[in-house]
C-alpha cells in the first residue's frame, strides 16, 4: 500500500496492494458503456498500466440483473484490473461486495464520484459527498467483506462550499484504503469548467502520506498528462475522456514523457485497423449482431477531425454485419471532396467519463455531451463468453 517517492515531482514507484507500478503509471477510468472488455484489451495493448471496469450497481447485482453480472467478467489479458462498485445503501454495498470479490479482480474500487443525477438521488456516486459519515461506513463495509485491496474514486466535494477532500483523503488512508483517485472538480461542476489541479497538489501535500494518489480530470492529451504529473505531484494519472476513441493515448503519452517528443497521431490506415479490431472483439464477446450495434456509439470518437467524418459515421450506421462495416471503412476515401451528409439524425458524441449515455431509463446522463438519460446498459441478451483469442 506504500509508495516510495524520488526527489523529482511526480516520479515515483507505486504499489497498490500486491501490484507494483513503474514511474508515472497511467490508468483507464471506469466509464459506463465504454470500459468493457474489448476496449480495455485495446487500451492494455497500447500501454495502459491498469484499468477499471464499467461501474457495477450493487442493487443490480443483488437483483441478479444479467447486464450487471456481465460487468464482472474480466480476462487475463486485461490484468491488473479493478472492478468498480457503487451503491447508495451501506448494507446493499456490503452484501454485493462478496459477488464482486468472487469475480477475481486485483482491486475493488468504490465509486464516490459519479455526478449523474439519478445515481446521486440514490445517494450513490458523488451523492455521498453530502454525508461523509456514510462514505466512511460504506468504505468500511466493503473492506470488511473484501479479500482484495480496496480503492476509492471521488471528487473534490459536493460544491465549492463543501470541499473537504483533504480530510477525506486522511480519513480513507487511516482506514487502510489502498489508493485514492480524485477527479479535480466538484459534483456541482460535473464536467464544466477547468479541472482544478491546484487541489490535486494540495491533496498530495496535505492529505496523503503513504497512500498512492491518482489524479483525474482534463488529462486529455500527452502534454496535459505530463503537466498533471509535473504540476501536482500525483503518483498516477487516470484517463477518461482522453481515451475515448483513442486507446493509443497511453503509448503516445509514455513516449512523450520519456523522450520529450510527441509521436504523430495515428493516420487513417492505423485508425481503421484499430476500429476493425475493436469491432471484431465486440463481436467475439457479444455475438455479431449485438457487437455491430454496440460498436456504433464509438465511431464518432474514432474518426473525429477527419474530412467527411460525418458522412462516414452515417454510412457506418447502416450495415448489420461485421463484413458490411469493414467494407464501408475499407472503401471510404477520407481525402475525397466534401460530401453532403444525407438528412438524418446522427448520434451525438460521447464525452462523459463516468456514465456514457446509452439511452436507458435508470441513470440519466445529465452532462452536456450525449443527450437523454443513460443507465445500467444491457449489452445484449446473449451471455458473453470471451473466446481464447481475447483472453490469451
Catalytic residue, candidates 43, 114, 244, 286 = 114
**What is the number of alpha carbons within 13 Å of residue 69 lying toward its C-beta?**
14
Annotated binding site: 84, 153, 183, 240-241
In 103-163, which residue ranges form alpha helices assigned H by DSSP?
117-121, 132-145
Strand ordering across the sheet containing 3-5: 3-5, 12-16, 19-21
Residues in the chain: 392
Contact 222, 256 (CB under 8 A): yes
Contact 296, 317 (CB under 8 A): yes
Longest dimension (CA), the chain: 62
Q: Which helix (H) or strand (E) holds 215?
A: strand 213-216
Contact 228, 213 (CB under 8 A): no
Contact 239, 219 (CB under 8 A): yes
Annotated binding site for FMN: 84, 153, 183, 240-241
Parallel, antiparallel or unpaired: strands 12-16 and 19-21 = antiparallel
Query: Is 114 among the catalytic positions?
Result: yes
Cα dihedral 374, 378, 380, 383 in deg (nearest 10)? 160
Among 386, 380, 390, 357, smallest CA distance to 290 is for: 380
CA distances from 238 to 57, 92, 169, 290 (A): 21, 27, 17, 29
- CA-to-CA distance for 194 and 189, rounded, in angstroms? 9
- CA-to-CA distance for 355 and 369, rounded, in angstroms? 11
Q: Environment class of residue 350 by beta-carbon count within 10 Å: exposed (0-12), middle (13-18) or buried (19+)?
A: buried
Tell me the catalytic residues.
Answer: 114
Amino acid at each position: 500500500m506504500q509508495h516510495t517517492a524520488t526527489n523529482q515531482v511526480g516520479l515515483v514507484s507505486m504499489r497498490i496492494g500486491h501490484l507494483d507500478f513503474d514511474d508515472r503509471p497511467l490508468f483507464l477510468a471506469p466509464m459506463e458503456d465504454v470500459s468493457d472488455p474489448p476496449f480495455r484489451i485495446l487500451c492494455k495493448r497500447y500501454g495502459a498500466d491498469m484499468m477499471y471496469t464499467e461501474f457495477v450497481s450493487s442493487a443490480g447485482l443483488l437483483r441478479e440483473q444479467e447486464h450487471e453480472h456481465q460487468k464482472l467478467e474480466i480476462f487475463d489479458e486485461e490484468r491488473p484490473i479493478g472492478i468498480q462498485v457503487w451503491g447508495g445503501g451501506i448494507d446493499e454495498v456490503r452484501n454485493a461486495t462478496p459477488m464482486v470479490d468472487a469475480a477475481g479482480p486485483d482491486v475493488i474500487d468504490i465509486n464516490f464520484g459519479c455526478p449523474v443525477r439519478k445515481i446521486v438521488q440514490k445517494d450513490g456516486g458523488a451523492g455521498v459527498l453530502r454525508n461523509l459519515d456514510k462514505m466512511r461506513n460504506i468504505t468500511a463495509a466493503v473492506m470488511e467483506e473484501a479479500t482484495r485491496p480496496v480503492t476509492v474514486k471521488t471528487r473534490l466535494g459536493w460544491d465549492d462550499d463543501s470541499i473537504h477532500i483533504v480530510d477525506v483523503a486522511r480519513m480513507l488512508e487511516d482506514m487502510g484504503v489502498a489508493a485514492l483517485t480524485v477527479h479535480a472538480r466538484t459534483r456541482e461542476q460535473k464536467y464544466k469548467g477547468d479541472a482544478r489541479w491546484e487541489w490535486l497538489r494540495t491533496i498530495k501535500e496535505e492529505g496523503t502520506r503513504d497512500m498512492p494518489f491518482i489524479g483525474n480530470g482534463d488529462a486529455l492529451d500527452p502534454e496535459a498528462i505530463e503537466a498533471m504529473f509535473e504540476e501536482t505531484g500525483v503518483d498516477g494519472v487516470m484517463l477518461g475522456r482522453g481515451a475515448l476513441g483513442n486507446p493509443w493515448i497511453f503509448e503516445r503519452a509514455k513516449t512523450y514523457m520519456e523522450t520529450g517528443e510527441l509521436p504523430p497521431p495515428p493516420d487513417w490506415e492505423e485508425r481503421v485497423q484499430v476500429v476493425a479490431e475493436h469491432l471484431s472483439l465486440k463481436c467475439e464477446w457479444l455475438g455479431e449482431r449485438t457487437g455491430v450495434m454496440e460498436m456504433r456509439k464509438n465511431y464518432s470518437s474514432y474518426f473525429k477531425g477527419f474530412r467527411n467524418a460525418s458522412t462516414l459515421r452515417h454510412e457506418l450506421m447502416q450495415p448489420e454485419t461485421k463484413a458490411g462495416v469493414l467494407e464501408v471503412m475499407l472503401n471510404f476515401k477520407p481525402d475525397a471532396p466534401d460530401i453532403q451528409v444525407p438528412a438524418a439524425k446522427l448520434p451525438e458524441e460521447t464525452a462523459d467519463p463516468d456514465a456514457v449515455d446509452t439511452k436507458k431509463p435508470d441513470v440519466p446522463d445529465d452532462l452536456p455531451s450525449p443527450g437523454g438519460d443513460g443507465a445500467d446498459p444491457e449489452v445484449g441478451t446473449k451471455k458473453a463468453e470471451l473466446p481464447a483469442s481475447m483472453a490469451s
